[in-house]
């Protein structure tokens, strides 16, 4: 990896301004999400931050889980200047290796454009989509 980066789950290191800006302005899935909602989502999730050698945050992901049956991976991103350097793989591997994530029966996620990336970590399409149900509130 060109830039020495590391992953942390220390919530006090998460740069809420940085995360909010990316999610609300750059991501396709969270356009317009308020800072209050980003803060609430961080407080109620197992968070993973990607940081460069200067301790600047360059990526983020969070997992919502009951720590037994199911986990949902969300808000995964690496900023443009750091893409293609293996940091996304480092981030996902840290998530997959985390003891609290390894214990759950299954991990879900949704993506419009990164299926091949997630397949490298064992994700696949829902095996029997006819058994899944979903209620959207908004």
- Is the distance from CB of 9 to CB of 46 less than 8 angstroms? yes
DSSP H or E run through 122: none
- Is the distance from CB of 3 to CB of 53 less than 8 angstroms? yes
Average pLDDT over residues 6-17: 97
Side-chain-side CA neighbours of residue 93 (13 Å): 8
- Determine if the pTM surpasses 0.75: yes
pLDDT at 42: 98
User: Where does the pLDDT of residue 1 fall: very low under 50, low under 70, confident under 90, or very high at 90 and above?
Assistant: very low
| pLDDT tens for each residue of 31-78 | 999 999 999 999 999 999 999 999 999 999 999 999 999 999 999 999
């Amino acid at each position: 990896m060109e830039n020495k980066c590391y992953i942390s789950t220390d919530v006090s290191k998460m740069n809420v301004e940085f995360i909010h800006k990316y999610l609300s302005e750059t991501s396709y899935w969270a356009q317009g999400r308020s800072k209050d909602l980003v803060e609430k989502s961080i407080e109620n999730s197992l968070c993973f931050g990607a940081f460069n050698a200067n301790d600047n945050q360059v990526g983020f992901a969070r997992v919502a889980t009951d720590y037994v049956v199911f986990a949902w991976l969300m808000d995964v991103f690496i900023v443009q200047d750091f893409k293609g350097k293996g940091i996304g793989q480092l981030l996902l591997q840290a998530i997959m290796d985390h003891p609290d994530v390894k214990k759950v029966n299954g991990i879900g996620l949704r993506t419009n454009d990164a299926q091949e990336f997630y397949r490298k970590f064992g994700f696949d399409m829902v095996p029997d989509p006819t058994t899944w149900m979903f209620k959207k509130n908004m």
